[in-house]
Chain A
Amino acid sequence: MPDFEPGAEQYEDKADVAAYLAGDRMALDRLVVRHKDRVFNLCCRLLGDRGDAEECAQETFVKVLRSIGGFRRESSFSTWLFTIAINTCKNRRSSAEYRFWKKVLSFGRNASSCEDDPEEFEIQDEAPSALVLISEKERESLIQSAIDSLPFDFRTVIVLRHIEELSYDEIARITGYNLGTLKSKLSRARVQLQKKLQGA
């Protein structure tokens, strides 16, 4: 669970941002290493594709580098980073290139889904049986498909709330919605998600 409350990680972020602005090139590497998995996971859940998620996650950090001088530190670095990541994914989804390849590759859609990490297919002795693993993969694939079927704003609030487990305040800060709008969107997103997963 990401730590959006003031804590050790947030202090480290602020220190690294200040160090990078002072000329420490390694500070950016530390920021990337600290947040890359969280950003990648968010992008993958929002886009539903590992390749696109990696592309958007990299683009997110490039944008952070370009605009880190304008970081006002009114919010935490994580909140700012998530805002950039969500906007990058949104732009990616609306791009013509993304829509084109989405249609072209729709036939083999599951071949590159987020749940197709080959590392997760490694079966060890202590692991559950192959049947259980396949069942879990199917369940995850169904859930991801249901998320992908949601409108992007609904998807965003669902992912931030129920996968990233952020608070309402943090989600409102990231998305820019006020609290009432956020709760309304979240409620309608749950209704649609429930309908999608009704038969699963």
Chain B
Amino acid sequence: MECSQARKIIYEIAGTEADIPIQLRDEFKKHLAVCSSCAAHYHALISRLEDLRELPRLNAPANFLENVRRRIENPGIVARARNSFFRFFGEISFYRLAATAAAAVLVVVTAQIALKEAHLQKEVSAPLPLPSPAMSPPPAPTESFQNLTSDAPQPAPPLQGESSVPKAGSVPKELRTSAAPQRAKQGAGNISQYNSAPGRASPPANAYPASGEEEEQRKTIRLNLRVPRDSYSLLGKSTAPAMMDKAKEPSAVAGTSLAEKSLARPGLDKEYAKREDRVEIDSADRAMSEVKSLVLLSKGKITSEQPVEDAEKKASISVEIPAQNYAAFLDQLRRFGEVTIPGESTGAAAPQAGMHIRVLILFDTGS
């Protein structure tokens, strides 16, 4: 055995000769007998290890057992919290914890969906305000008019550049007679109730006393009613902000020629130019009586009425028309002017049987 080989195993052999193979141990001892350097190194290591073995045994303090008892009986706060934690979660299996967490998430999600649906149902079934008959009609400084919204899920498309329309299902259809510009300035009528501020659409002040089911049986459409440049005529007016603003423009007042109106809104005047069975009305009273007769003939009913008291005041009438007679009602109404429905070229909606069309007609007796 060489010194390099002996130095490699010297630390393995030291103190553990019994675990070394006999042949290797004999060769190592033979090398130590002839190599003083390796022998001195080996004996020095053995001496150190003997020192380790001779280190005194240290005894535990006398009160060791009492201290252990005290720690067992009065564990610290951290130890108690740790024991409680493991005792609690150790008894609950992972699957029970996972099932509990999943159930909690399911309950939260279900509650959120239910609350959302209840909120939507509340919005849908909320009573619709209706303009008070006792209040005077709003100003109508335009010959073009339109109103309003639909109960259908999609709101009516904007008309002539309208960027905003009333909320679907919130505003009934309304018609209005034409008015002089000065009357529009006086208007504190129904339209003004619909719109608390110019250019802003808002629901009518009074509410329809209809239940949610009745709401579904009625359909509100937007109408554009245009009449010739007569002394008394019927006009519809939109509550849409853009149209309200436009209605106040001087060029939109009654008395403007049809050609001028056509230049302003050419798309609306095409049908008007073709109509020949127009009935000219010379007073608001007559217009109202004609419309009331038309309602009765259409098997509709008059829900409210604001008669004309003098030439300075506006008249209004709220009616409900059965859906099956609504087309004929519109045809007859066109005798007094032009009726258009925004977004529909035919000028009539396609209501379902059994439904009622709620219409608010405003009469504006311009000078």
Report the minimal beta-carbon distance from B88 to chain A, rounded to whole angstroms: 16
Complexed CA–CA distance, A161 and B68 (Å): 28
Q: B4-42 vs A: 1/0 string, CB under 8 Å?
A: 000000011011100100000000000000000000000
Task: Knowing A54-B64, A61-B68, say if A191 contacts B11 (CB, 8 Å).
Answer: yes
A62 close to B71 (CB less than 8 A): yes
A40 at the interface (CB under 8 A from B): yes
From B19, B55, B59, A37 is in contact (CB under 8 Å) with B59
Complexed CA–CA distance, A41 and B52 (Å): 13
Report the minimal beta-carbon distance from B309 to chain A, rounded to whole angstroms: 93
A194 at the interface (CB under 8 A from B): yes
Q: Which residues on A sit within 8 Å (CB–CB) of B61?
A: 40, 54
Nearest-CB residue, chain A, relative to B49? A162
B67 at the interface (CB under 8 A from A): yes
Complexed CA–CA distance, A50 and B65 (Å): 16
A57 close to B64 (CB less than 8 A): yes
Q: Is the interface of B mostly helix, strand, loop or mixed?
A: helix
A33 close to B72 (CB less than 8 A): no
- Among A41, A65, A115, A168, the one with the most B-chain Cβ atoms within 10 Å of its Cβ is A41
Q: A42-73 vs B: 1/0 string, CB under 8 Å?
A: 00110000100110011101100110000000
CB interface residues, B 311-331, toward A, < 8 Å: none
Complexed CA–CA distance, A37 and B51 (Å): 20
A120 close to B48 (CB less than 8 A): no
Q: A128-162 vs B: 1/0 string, CB under 8 Å?
A: 00000000000110011001000000000010011
Nearest-CB residue, chain A, relative to B53? A162
A24 at the interface (CB under 8 A from B): no
Report the minimal beta-carbon distance from B217 to chain A, rounded to whole angstroms: 74
Nearest-CB residue, chain A, relative to B50? A162
Number of interface residues of B (CB under 8 A): 29
A190 close to B58 (CB less than 8 A): no
Q: Which residues on B sit within 8 Å (CB–CB) of A40?
A: 58-61, 64
A197 at the interface (CB under 8 A from B): yes
From A163, A188, A197, B53 is in contact (CB under 8 Å) with A163
Report the minimal beta-carbon distance from B71 to chain A, rounded to whole angstroms: 5
- Among A53, A117, A139, A190, the one with the most B-chain Cβ atoms within 10 Å of its Cβ is A190
Q: Which residues on A sit within 8 Å (CB–CB) of B60?
A: 36-37, 39-40, 54, 57
A183 at the interface (CB under 8 A from B): yes
A187 at the interface (CB under 8 A from B): yes
CB interface residues, B 43-88, toward A, < 8 Å: 44-45, 48-49, 51-53, 55-61, 64-65, 67-69, 71-72, 75, 83
Q: Which residues on B sit within 8 Å (CB–CB) of A62?
A: 68, 71-72, 75
A193 close to B65 (CB less than 8 A): no
Report the minimal beta-carbon distance from B53 to chain A, rounded to whole angstroms: 6
Report the minimal beta-carbon distance from A67 to chain B, rounded to whole angstroms: 11
Complexed CA–CA distance, A61 and B12 (Å): 34
Report the minimal beta-carbon distance from A4 to chain B, rounded to whole angstroms: 16
Given A37-B59, A58-B64, A61-B68, 20 additional A-B pairs, CB 8 A: A29-B65, A39-B60, A40-B58, A40-B60, A41-B57, A41-B58, A50-B58, A54-B60, A59-B71, A62-B72, A65-B72, A143-B48, A144-B55, A162-B53, A168-B19, A186-B12, A186-B16, A190-B45, A194-B48, A197-B48
Q: Which residues of B contact A (CB under 8 A)?
A: 11-12, 14-16, 19, 44-45, 48-49, 51-53, 55-61, 64-65, 67-69, 71-72, 75, 83
Interface CB pairs A-B, < 8 A, 9: A40-B61, A40-B64, A41-B57, A45-B55, A62-B72, A186-B16, A188-B11, A190-B45, A194-B45
State the 7 A-B residue pairs at the shortest beta-carbon distance, nearest first.
Answer: A40-B60, A162-B52, A36-B60, A190-B11, A187-B11, A41-B58, A61-B68
